[in-house]
């Protein structure tokens, strides 16, 4: 019985690798080792940002060994995703799965393609999984998917397959100090669509610099809960969203969207899920009084 189960799993993984492998490519966009990539949909290749070190003269090695030119559409360093266009091919796009169905310990398969065009694979399990994750580059991923498998050099940019042979994300070592993680399908889709539409990912910003400061004793009774720390505005960008909304140097921000904030990270978390043009409702302490401020988020210059 045990041998039968292992044979079934082996056969299923082998079939999945063969089926999806036709969409896996090698991307030659840096001096030394190429990275892997995948034709996410017809004529659109997705790979990792950290593996694309030049904007021109990019070659993609297809299944079967054919090398063709690729044009860089855009990149998003915060999610480590880069998108390129190639001539449309007859091969069908891979079947995308739902990464939210992954569970700790699930068997998974990582695919890549070598410099010579050979399809390679690495198997393992989901070593850690949780909800939304803001990585060290400030990018917001829909899930934090940590892999317990060998992600060999050149594997970054290749797909992760679940036990059903569906692509559930793009693998990378560029977001977690060398650890192997997967950018989930939902995040990849969102970034790909925006890069195809705009050539960049629009991210909102406030246009202020802040630092934590203790709230004066005479103000604490006026604030919600046990608020003891606020964020002192130490810089306001000229003609930025905050200045347009009336924010002043010396304001102490203590609430965003009805939630108290004591750390700058909390502001970054709020911005990570917001869009350019959204209105952020905040409250500040100004000259001993509590003032509401509505800031329409602008787009940070690239």
pLDDT of residue 271: 84
Place of tokens 């790979």: 47
Residue 291 CB neighbour total at 10 angstroms: 14
First to last CA, the chain: 58
DSSP 193-223: HHHHHHSS---EE--EEEEEEEPPHHHHTTS
Helix or strand run (H / E) with residue 159: strand 159-161
Residue 156 CB neighbour total at 10 angstroms: 27
* Catalytic one of 76, 80, 142, 251: 80
pTM metric for this prediction: 0.82
Q: Tens digits of per-residue pLDDT, 194-253?
A: 999 999 988 889 999 999 999 888 888 888 777 889 999 999 999 999 999 999 999 999
3-state secondary structure of 101: helix
Residue 24 burial (10 A CB sphere; 0-12, 13-18, 19+) = buried
50 flagged as catalytic:
yes
* Catalytic one of 36, 156, 251, 270: 156
CB 203 within 8 A of CB 194: no
Q: Tens digits of per-residue pLDDT, 62-114?
A: 988 889 999 999 999 999 999 999 986 756 678 999 999 999 999 999 999 99
* Catalytic one of 23, 50, 122, 251: 50
Q: Tens digits of per-residue pLDDT, 252-271?
A: 999 998 888 888 888 888 88
């Amino acid at each position: 019985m045990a041998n039968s189960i292992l044979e079934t799993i082996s056969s299923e993984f082998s079939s999945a690798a063969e089926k999806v492998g036709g969409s896996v490519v090698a991307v030659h966009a840096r001096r030394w080792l190429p990275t892997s990539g995948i034709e996410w949909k017809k004529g659109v290749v997705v790979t990792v940002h950290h593996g694309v070190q030049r904007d021109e003269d990019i070659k993609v090695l297809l299944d079967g060994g054919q090398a063709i030119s690729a044009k860089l559409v855009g990149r998003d360093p915060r999610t480590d995703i880069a998108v390129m266009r190639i001539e449309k091919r007859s091969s069908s796009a891979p079947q995308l799965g739902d990464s939210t169905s992954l569970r700790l310990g699930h068997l998974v398969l990582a695919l890549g393609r070598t410099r010579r065009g050979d399809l390679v694979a690495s198997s393992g399990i989901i070593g850690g999984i949780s909800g939304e994750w803001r990585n060290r580059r400030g990018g917001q991923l829909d899930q934090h998917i940590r892999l317990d498998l060998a992600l060999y050099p050149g594997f970054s940019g290749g797909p992760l397959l679940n036990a059903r042979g569906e692509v559930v994300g793009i693998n990378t070592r560029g977001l977690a100090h060398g650890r192997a993680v997967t950018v989930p399908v939902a995040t990849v889709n969102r970034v790909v669509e925006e890069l195809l539409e705009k050539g960049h990912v629009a991210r909102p910003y406030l246009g202020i610099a802040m630092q934590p400061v203790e709230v004066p004793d005479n103000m604490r009774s006026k604030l919600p809960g046990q608020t003891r720390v606020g964020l002192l505005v130490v810089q306001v960008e000229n003609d930025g969203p905050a200045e347009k909304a009336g924010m002043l140097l010396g304001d102490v921000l203590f609430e965003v969207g009805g939630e108290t904030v004591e750390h700058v990270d909390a502001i970054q978390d709020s911005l990570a899920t917001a869009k350019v043009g959204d209105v952020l409702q905040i409250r500040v302490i100004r000259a001993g009084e509590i003032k509401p401020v509505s800031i329409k988020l602008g787009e940070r210059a690239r």
